[in-house]
């Protein structure tokens, strides 16, 4: 499932894999004859990932999801606490809207 390009792996400060290809390498590899397509390369590079990066990202999401699910037992937020939090969010949103209008 995962490609064997493990020699290009760089682990970042958060323990996640960093991009295995610099923007310049990505741009050179995906350069197009059409000028406007090349304008989109930077945006595409931000969301581009290898199979290994995708697998690691999905594993992290799965672990976080299961960790949250496990903590919902004894440490779960009560409905009263959730209501208070929602009220605070609503109040802050109203203040922001009021200041913008």
pLDDT digit string, tens, across residues 63-99? 887 877 777 665 566 788 889 989 999 999 998 888 7
What integer pLDDT is reported at residue 4 of this predicted model? 47
Is residue 36 scored above 70 in pLDDT?
A: yes
Percent residues over pLDDT 90 in the chain: 9
Judge if pTM exceeds 0.85.
no
- pLDDT value of position 15: 62
Mean pLDDT for the chain?
75
Residue spans of the domains in the chain: they are 6-100
> Please, are residues 9 and 17 in contact by the beta-carbon 8 Å criterion?
yes
φ, ψ dihedrals at 17, nearest 5°: -70, 135
Residue 61 confidence (pLDDT) above 70? yes
Residue 11: beta bridge partners? 17
């Amino acid at each position: 499932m995962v490609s064997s390009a493990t020699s290009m792996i760089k682990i970042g400060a958060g323990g996640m894999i960093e991009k295995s290809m610099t923007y310049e390498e990505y741009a050179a590899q995906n350069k197009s004859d059409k000028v406007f397509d090349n304008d989109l390369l930077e945006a595409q590079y931000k969301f581009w990932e290898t199979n290994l990066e995708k697998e690691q990202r999905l594993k992290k999401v799965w672990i976080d999801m299961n960790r949250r699910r496990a903590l919902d037992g004894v440490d779960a937020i009560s409905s009263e606490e959730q209501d208070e939090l929602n009220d605070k969010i609503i109040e802050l949103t109203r203040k922001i809207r009021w200041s913008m209008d």
